């Protein structure tokens, strides 16, 4: 088998897991390109690369066309992009001897762009997927190489679904390494008519609409839930008696409600019920200021959350 020369551009948990896969393969990691400057612990991509003895290059240089000359000089066969910070110039993408590939945490072409796991939960998808595709001059537009799908559980969060994507993506990476060594990587053009690009926007600009069905309210909360880690979507915010309250954990009760949306119902220990359009939602954890506390510590029965005005926009994704 041909020993490939691989450059990894990545961030976060996905980058760490992909580097581990590369490290136990017979192929050579030329360098790791990451923006996690100063993060030298083993839990980060920079830390893991340093511990394994791989050169670490700053991510900012990857967005410069001149970086293509570095790849050619280092005789890079494969460029692998996993949660990279920057859009790569066409000259960089086309520089590796075999090609450049992106591990996308969503099914293409329907979930191109950012935060695909969040959007899948928010939209109530029953299945999600991960895609390893050829890179070209566009964003998530290159030909498909490998893909996998898996179920979305009823209690899925942004964090757990992202984890599923990463775990499903690692076998695709191993398939790429095997096929690239044989010069036989699949390439299937994406059907452009099905493409939908997701940007940095949040549903409702991040505001919680209690006037929606409870299932949509809870899906929004779960989509934002990456606890204990930072969420790419801020937790949905609501307003009560002039205070901004971020809703961190919530679940369906199945208990119908004819109370006005946003009405605070009874306490359930440290939790509390809030009425959505059709049923009570069990709110468990909230954030007030910088403090994460039990919902019943911040919300009292009989209160009512302020409802968004029409000027604050219609729900996204409809």
The correct answer on CATH 3.30.930.10 for the domain covering 5-198 is no
Dihedral sign, CA of 110, 112, 116, 122? negative
Residue 2's pLDDT is what?
Answer: 84
Helix (H) / strand (E) containing 222: helix 214-223
Residue 231 has what DSSP assignment? Answer: P
Average pLDDT, the chain: 93
For the chain, what are the domain ranges?
5-198, 204-307
pLDDT digit string, tens, across residues 227-280: 998 899 999 999 998 899 999 999 999 999 999 999 999 999 999 999 999 999
pLDDT tops 50 at residue 317: no
Residue 39's pLDDT is what?
Answer: 46
The correct answer on CATH 3.10.25.10 for the domain covering 204-307 is yes
Residue 85's pLDDT is what?
Answer: 81
87 upstream amide cis, omega within 30 of 0: no
Percent of the chain as helix, strand, coil, to the nearest 5:
30, 30, 40
Rounded-to-integer distance, Cα 30 and Cα 67, Å:
14
Burial 1-21 (b: 16+ CB within 10 A, else e): eeebbbbbbbbbbbbbbbbeb
Question: How many CA atoms does the CB half-sphere of 100 hold within 13 Å?
Answer: 27
Q: Percent of the chain scored above 90 by pLDDT?
A: 87
Is 26 exposed, middle or buried (CB count within 10 Å of its CB: 0-12, 13-18, 19+)? exposed
Confidence of residue 40 (pLDDT cuts 50, 70, 90): very low
CA 66-112-94 angle, 5° bins: 25
* Other Cβ atoms within 10 Å of 173 Cβ, number: 21
C-alpha closest to that of 294 among 239, 233, 225, 245:
245
Rounded-to-integer distance, Cα 106 and Cα 196, Å:
12
């Amino acid at each position: 088998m041909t020993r490939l020369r691989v450059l990894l551009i990545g961030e976060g948990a996905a980058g760490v897991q992909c580097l581990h896969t590369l490290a136990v393969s017979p192929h050579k990691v030329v360098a790791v390109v990451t923006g996690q400057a100063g993060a030298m612990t083993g839990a980060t991509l920079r830390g893991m690369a340093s511990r394994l003895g791989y050169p670490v290059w700053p991510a900012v240089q990857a967005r410069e066309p001149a970086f293509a000359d570095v790849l050619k000089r280092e005789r890079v066969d494969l460029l692998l992009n996993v949660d990279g910070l920057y859009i790569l110039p066409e000259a960089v993408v086309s520089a590796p001897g075999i090609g450049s590939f992106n591990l996308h945490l969503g099914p293409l072409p329907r979930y191109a762009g950012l935060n695909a796991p969040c959007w899948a939960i928010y939209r109530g998808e029953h299945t999600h997927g991960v895609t390893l595709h050829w890179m070209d001059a566009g964003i998530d537009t290159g030909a498909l190489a490998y893909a996998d799908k898996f179920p979305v559980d009823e209690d899925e969060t942004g964090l757990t679904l992202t984890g599923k994507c990463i775990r499903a993506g690692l076998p695709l990476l191993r398939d790429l390494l095997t096929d690239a060594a044989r010069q036989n990587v699949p390439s299937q053009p994406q059907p452009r008519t099905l493409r939908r690009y997701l940007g940095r926007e949040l549903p409702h600009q991040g505001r919680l609409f209690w006037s929606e069905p409870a299932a949509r309210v809870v899906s929004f909360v779960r989509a934002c839930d990456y606890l204990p880690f930072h969420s790419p979507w801020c937790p949905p915010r609501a307003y009560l008696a002039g205070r901004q309250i971020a809703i961190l954990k919530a679940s369906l009760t199945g208990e119908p409600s004819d109370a006005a949306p946003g009405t605070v119902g009874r306490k359930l220990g440290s939790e509390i019920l809030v009425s959505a359009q059709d049923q009570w939602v069990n709110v468990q954890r909230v954030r007030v200021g910088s403090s994460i506390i039990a919902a019943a510590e911040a919300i009292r029965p009989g209160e009512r959350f302020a409802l968004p005005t029409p000027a604050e926009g219609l729900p996204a994704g409809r």
